[in-house]
């Protein structure tokens, strides 16, 4: 166990390079198992979720090597359709093994996923998709069992534009017979990244990034070399940290288009933002303006950036409203911000934040990944020392977080318990 100790109020200054997208990596790493040859993935972030996934693939018999940010995966020896439960429960994205194992072997046994504790996260849309493709689906004792003699392409309408269901159906349908059409598909950048990767393996997927994705099944897929897109949420977190501390930070190695909803809100909050090519420079105001925001599927304001934005707004000059519309219960972490002097009232899915001019460092606990990011942003702008317990949760999704913050002039230390 470790904690992050932050002595706050340093204005962050300098340049930070953003790593590969966590959410893309956890879809693409299992996806390349569908290829018949070896694949090389570049720009893979050195984070815990990636390491756990690499271990799961090894347990399934694949050969995996990780050298800095390059991962090589060879499916030779990958013969098991049963995913090891003790690792699967550690990360939510392990549900992508359902689509992969079903496409590869026509059967899969995968424990129900773990991951962040942010309220109920059903997978009914994933299972509906597998059934539509012709699979028998049963869920018993926390294990999902899938079986199909053959997968047959089908039209699938998603009740909600679920990222996970869209990706899982793309994976399962990539080698099905005939054409699958996903309507009301998720449009997140990592859905597009996965489609690009699968297409480079020989898949025939069109429309990723729009509401309708068409997948024409192919007989086989080959290995590939693919570079993971930059992590928009890591970038958003450093942008928020710059605003919260009145800093001047250049966030580099990003796709600026993916950051538009965040840029728009931070400008409303009073930040001055320049962007060009692959970087965004954020200059924070002394104290932010209050803003109202509602989280939405892409290209709306991302739910994963809601928690760090709330931390920024704790010090705004006025009242902000943050409405969480993607998840039923993603505001639990505010009680930790309140310990730091934030004035927040939660009404249903809305947080009403009355800005205060000072947050005070306190011992707090990261209850989930983005809650941890929120506490980090709050701690950087608070007076005194903030101890964030369960730093491992933050390290699930933030590469070299201590080093990157230090590089921006933050006074932070990792302490092993
Ligand atoms: C992914 C991201 C996560 C992000 C989320 C929303 C990964 C690994 N994780 O999670 O960081 O917060 O998208 O942008 O990419 N739902 C159902 N039934 C389903 C599936 C989802 O009701 O079968 C609901 C969920 O409970 C949630 C909403 O739909 O309320 C969105 O979920 P979804 O888009 O599936 O999120 P994830 O893929 O789990």
Distance 333 CA to ligand 1 centre (A): 18
pLDDT value at residue 155: 98
The pLDDT-based confidence of 114 (bands split at 50, 70, 90) is: low
pLDDT value at residue 87: 76
Which of 49-63, 177-191, 313-327, 346-360 is predicted least confidently? 49-63
Strands (E), 190-231: 204-206, 212-216, 225-227
Task: With a cut of 70, say whether residue 120 has pLDDT above it.
Answer: no
* CA angle in degrees (0–180, nearest 5) for 402-406-410: 110
pLDDT value at residue 180: 98
pLDDT value at residue 122: 87
Burial class (CB in 10 A: 0-12, 13-18, 19+), 189: buried
Which residue's CA is the closest to the ligand 1 atom numbered 19? 123
Looking at the CA of residue 186, tell me the nearest atom of ligand 1: 34
Which residue's CA is the closest to the ligand 1 atom numbered 29? 162
Which residue's CA is the closest to the ligand 1 atom numbered 35? 162
Residues with CB under 6 A from ligand 1: 23, 26, 92-93, 121-126, 160, 162-165, 186, 190, 303-304, 326-327
pLDDT per residue as tens digits for the range 51-106: 999 999 998 999 999 999 999 999 998 888 998 788 788 788 889 999 999 999 99
pLDDT per residue as tens digits for the range 239-285: 999 999 999 999 999 999 999 999 999 999 999 999 999 999 999 99
d(CA 8, CA 341): 14
Q: Which residues are catalytic?
A: 116
In the Cβ-directed half-sphere of 402, how many Cα atoms lie within 13 Å?
15
Provide mean pLDDT across the span 342-364: 97
Which residue's CA is the closest to the ligand 1 atom numbered 11? 304
- What residues contact residue 274 under an 8 Å CB cut-off, 6+ apart? 280, 281
Distance 408 CA to ligand 1 centre (A): 32
Mutate which of 162, 211, 398 for ligand 1? The one with the most ligand atoms within 8 Å of its CB, which is 162
Which residue's CA is the closest to the ligand 1 atom numbered 13? 163
Distance 162 CA to ligand 1 centre (A): 5
Mutate which of 118, 121, 186 for ligand 1? The one with the most ligand atoms within 8 Å of its CB, which is 121
| Structural domains of the chain, with CATH | 2-19+230-416 (3.65.10.10), 22-227 (3.65.10.10)
pLDDT value at residue 417: 85
Partners of 347 in the beta sheet? 350
Partners of 219 in the beta sheet? none
Q: Mark out the alpha helices in 157-220 (DSSP H runs).
A: 163-173, 189-200
Q: Encoding tokens for residue 313? A: 């707004």
pLDDT per residue as tens digits for the range 157-213: 999 999 999 999 999 999 999 999 999 999 999 999 999 999 999 999 999 999 999
Distance 255 CA to ligand 1 centre (A): 22
Which residue's CA is the closest to the ligand 1 atom numbered 32? 162
Task: With a cut of 70, say whether residue 309 has pLDDT above it.
Answer: yes
d(CA 320, CA 310): 9
Q: What percent of the chain has pLDDT over 70?
A: 98
d(CA 92, CA 269): 33
| 392 phi, psi to nearest 5 deg | -55, -30
The pLDDT-based confidence of 229 (bands split at 50, 70, 90) is: very high
In whole numbers, what is the pLDDT of the chain averaged over residues?
A: 95
pLDDT value at residue 117: 54
Looking at the CA of residue 120, tell me the nearest atom of ligand 1: 26
Distance 356 CA to ligand 1 centre (A): 33
Looking at the CA of residue 160, tell me the nearest atom of ligand 1: 29
d(CA 60, CA 84): 8
Q: What percent of the chain has pLDDT over 90?
A: 90
Distance set, CA 201 to CA 165, 204, 278, 327, 403 (Å): 21, 9, 27, 34, 35
Task: With a cut of 60, say whether residue 317 has pLDDT above it.
Answer: yes
- What residues contact residue 297 under an 8 Å CB cut-off, 6+ apart? 161, 163, 186, 187, 188, 326
Distance 164 CA to ligand 1 centre (A): 6
- What residues contact residue 221 under an 8 Å CB cut-off, 6+ apart? 34, 35, 36, 174, 175, 198, 201, 202, 203
The secondary structure of residue 209, as a DSSP letter, is: T
N-terminal to C-terminal alpha carbon distance within the chain: 5
Looking at the CA of residue 167, tell me the nearest atom of ligand 1: 38
Strand order of the β-sheet with 204-206 is: 155-157, 179-183, 212-216, 204-206
Distance 160 CA to ligand 1 centre (A): 9
């Amino acid at each position: 166990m470790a904690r992050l100790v932050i002595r706050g109020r340093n204005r962050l200054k300098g340049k930070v390079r953003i790593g590969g997208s966590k959410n893309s990596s956890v879809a693409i790493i299992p996806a390349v198992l569908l290829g018949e040859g070896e694949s090389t993935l570049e720009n893979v972030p050195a984070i815990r979720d990636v390491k756990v996934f690499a271990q799961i693939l090894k347990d399934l018999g694949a050969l995996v090597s990780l050298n800095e940010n390059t991962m090589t995966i060879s499916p030779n020896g990958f013969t098991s359709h049963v995913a090891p439960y003790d690792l699967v429960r550690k990360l939510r994205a392990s549900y992508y093994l359902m689509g992969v194992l079903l496409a590869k072997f026509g059967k899969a046994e995968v424990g129900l996923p773990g991951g962040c504790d942010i309220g109920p996260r059903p997978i009914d849309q994933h299972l509906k998709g597998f059934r539509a493709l012709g699979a028998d689906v049963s869920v018993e004792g926390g294990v999902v069992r899938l079986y199909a003699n053959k997968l047959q392409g089908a039209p699938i309408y998603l009740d909600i534009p679920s990222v996970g269901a869209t990706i899982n159906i793309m994976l399962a349908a990539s080698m099905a017979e005939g054409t699958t059409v996903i309507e009301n598909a998720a449009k997140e950048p990592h859905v597009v990244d996965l489609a690009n990767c699968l297409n480079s393996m020989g898949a025939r997927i069109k429309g990723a990034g729009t509401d309708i994705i068409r997948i024409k099944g192919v007989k086989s897929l080959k290995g590939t070399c693919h570079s993971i897109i930059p992590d928009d949420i890591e970038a958003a977190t450093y942008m928020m940290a710059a605003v919260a501390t009145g800093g001047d930070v250049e966030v580099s190695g990003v796709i600026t288009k993916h950051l538009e909803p965040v840029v728009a809100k931070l400008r409303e909050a009073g930040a001055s933002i320049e962007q060009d090519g692959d970087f965004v420079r954020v200059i924070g105001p002394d104290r932010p303006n209050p803003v109202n925001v509602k989280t939405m599927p892409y290209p709306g304001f991302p739910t994963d950036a809601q928690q760090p934005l709330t931390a920024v707004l704790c010090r705004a000059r006025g009242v902000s409203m943050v409405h969480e519309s993607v998840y039923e219960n993603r505001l639990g972490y505010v009680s930790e911000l309140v310990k730091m002097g934030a004035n927040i009232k939660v009404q249903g899915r809305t947080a009403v934040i009355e800005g205060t001019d000072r947050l005070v460092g306190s011992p707090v606990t990261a209850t989930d990944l983005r809650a941890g990011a929120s506490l980090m942003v709050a701690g950087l702008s608070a007076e005194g020392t903030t101890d964030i317990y369960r730093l491992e949760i933050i390290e699930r999704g933030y590469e070299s977080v201590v080093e990157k913050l230090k590089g921006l002039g933050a006074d932070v230390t990792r302490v092993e318990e």
